[in-house]
Every structure is written in structure tokens, then in C-alpha cells.
Amino acid sequence: GREVTLYEAVGGRPFFDRLVDRFYDGVADDPLLRPLYPEDLTDSRAHLAGFLAQYWSGDTAHYSDGRGHPRLRMRHAPFAIGVPEAKAWFGHMEAAVDAEDLPDDVAGALLQYLASAAGHLVNQR
């Protein structure tokens, strides 16, 4: 039979909504990252959860149908993102992933992607 995808293994979109909710709860209390984000994090939560759900499912209904091509390097260009910011961002994601009871291989695949994506968005030395 067909392999279960990571998207299916985590439980689909509700997982990404929970993950991103926990992530932004961390960002909301982070003195380094909080100033970069808008006061109201409602849209930020929806965009990031949608992006991640689309990345792992391939279904553009989650993000691109509403937001267009992700172009994350371009969308992050207005924000000064150095290694400390990328580490802080990833740290909140790592805590959010750890809060879920995931099999090690699934958690590992998520964290590997998130670490690599965060490193790719560093735009300041």
C-alpha cells in the first residue's frame, strides 16, 4: 500500500494550527523577535500555519490560493534577520514540536526542515 505522508502522520491541518499557535505564544514573549512582528498576530498565525500545511501537503488551498507564491526570501527582506534571530525563531519552533507527542522520525523531519528554512532566511551578518 501507499506510504503514510508526514502530513497524514501528524493529523493534517489541525496539527499545523496547534504548532503555530504555540510558536507565536513563544514569539509574543520574546524581546528579540516580538518587535519584528505586527501588534496583532492573528494574520501571522494563519499565514504561517497555512504555509507549513501547504509545504507538507502540496495543497495550495492552504496558502498560495490566497497569498500567491511564497517567495519567502523576498517577503522576509524588510526584516533584519541575523543568526540570533534565526536561532530564536527555530528555538520557538523546536519547543512547539517538542510539545507534541510525535514519533522521533516525524519530529526529526519537521525540525530538519525548519532549521534549514530558518538558516536560508538569514539576511544580515
Identity (one letter) of the amino acid at 74?
M
Residue 115 binds ligand HEM, judged by CB under 6 A: no
- Alpha carbons 11 and 54: distance in angstroms, whole number: 14
Sign of the C-alpha dihedral, residues 89, 92, 38, 53? Answer: positive
Among residues 10 and 48, whose Cβ is nearest to ligand HEM? 48
Among residues 92 and 102, whose Cβ is nearest to ligand HEM? 92
For residue 71, give the C-alpha cell.
517567495
Residue 118 binds ligand HEM, judged by CB under 6 A: yes
Residue 67 binds ligand HEM, judged by CB under 6 A: yes
Residue 123 binds ligand HEM, judged by CB under 6 A: no
- Alpha carbons 40 and 27: distance in angstroms, whole number: 12
Within 37-111, strands assigned E span none
Residue 85 binds ligand HEM, judged by CB under 6 A: yes
Among residues 40 and 104, whose Cβ is nearest to ligand HEM? 40
Among residues 3 and 70, whose Cβ is nearest to ligand HEM? 70
Residue in the shown chain whose Cβ atom is closest to ligand HEM: 44
Nearest to 18 by CA among 94, 99, 106, 116: 99
CA torsion 77-83-86-87 (nearest 10°) is -170
Interface with ligand HEM (CB under 6 A): 33, 36-38, 44, 47-48, 51, 67, 72, 75-76, 79, 81, 85-86, 89, 117-118, 121
